[in-house]
Structure 1
Amino acid sequence: MEKNTISEQQAVSMTDELQLLMENNIALTNAMQVIGGKWKLLLLNSIRLDCPARFGELRKKMQDITHATLTAQLRELEQDGIIERKVYAEVPPRVEYKLTPLGITLVPIITSLCDWGEAYKNRMV
């Protein structure tokens, strides 16, 4: 009866592949922690298209988002260095959001996702 074993070389190769897969997943996980979720990419796209964007404008564009969720998502994007927030000393208060230099690096990615989504929609019609 023959044993079903793998050679030491095969085991090393599998370990290298697993390590590479884990490294790729870590990078993707890092990206998803910053831009993942239901609203963040939509917010970034809105800010990209109407820069600077005011809080009220963002709220109108995303009617299903709650005030608290919008505030939380914007704060997270600000903490991650993707957007910056500017508060004007006016009554009523005016707050504007724009992409930071780091956030601007996401523009080609967001554009590609929009293009892919349009192509996918057209494929389905």
Structure 2
Amino acid sequence: MKENETGIEITLEIVCGKWKGLILWKLLHEKPMRFNQLRREIDGEISSRILSRELRKLTDDGLIERIDYEMVPPKVEYRITPYGKTTASFLTSMNEWGLEHKRMSTSRKEMARLINK
């Protein structure tokens, strides 16, 4: 980390990007999930390689944990940690802002369409 790095920079580094926020959001609102279940639940096309990388980063940062049941066939689940739950407030705010932005954007487009008729 840089010496005079802002909290925003640190937060964006840890939980943002195309997939990390979605992974955290799903695990905040679901029971522990297996890898393929999580992959199916995430909207969009995320490759196994990318999901694996992002899960590893979130695990290394202490936001989620990997539970290995050490059985055959292998069973591994991922769940949010108590520390990971601290992301809930700002992820909820981001979700609400995004939905409001979508509504406003749709309204502006609809208004423009009506005006241009």
What is the one-letter code of the residue matched to 1:105?
Answer: T
Q: 1:50 aligns to what?
A: 30
The correspondence for 2:21, drawn from 12, 19, 41, is: 41
- Structure 1 position 115, deviation (Å): 0.9
SS of 1:37 mapped into structure 2: coil
- Structure 1 position 84, deviation (Å): 0.7
* Residue 60 of structure 1 pairs with residue 40 of structure 2: yes
Q: Return the alpha-carbon distance in structure 2 between the equivalents of residues 109 and 96 of structure 1.
A: 25
Q: Return the alpha-carbon distance in structure 1 between the equivalents of residues 29 and 82 of structure 2.
A: 15
The number of aligned residues is 103
Cα distance per residue 1:85-112 (max 9 Å; x no partner): 1011223211111111111100111111
Using the TM superposition, name which of 65-74 and 90-99 deviates more: 90-99
Identity across the alignment (%): 36
What is the one-letter code of the residue matched to 2:76?
Answer: V
Q: Return the alpha-carbon distance in structure 1 between the equivalents of residues 7 and 97 of structure 2.
A: 22
Larger radius of gyration: 1
Flag as ranges the 4+ runs of structure 1 deviating above 6 A.
Answer: none
SS of 1:101 mapped into structure 2: coil
Q: Return the alpha-carbon distance in structure 2 between the equivalents of residues 80 and 48 of structure 1.
A: 16
The correspondence for 1:110, drawn from 63, 88, 91, is: 91
The correspondence for 2:75, drawn from 94, 97, 103, is: 94
Q: Return the alpha-carbon distance in structure 1 between the equivalents of residues 26 and 74 of structure 2.
A: 21
- TM value normalised by structure 1: 0.75
Q: 1:74 aligns to what?
A: 55
SS of 2:72 mapped into structure 1: coil
Q: 2:111 aligns to what?
A: none
Q: 1:28 aligns to what?
A: 8
SS of 1:105 mapped into structure 2: helix
* Residue 122 of structure 1 pairs with residue 100 of structure 2: no
Q: Return the alpha-carbon distance in structure 2 between the equivalents of residues 107 and 49 of structure 1.
A: 10
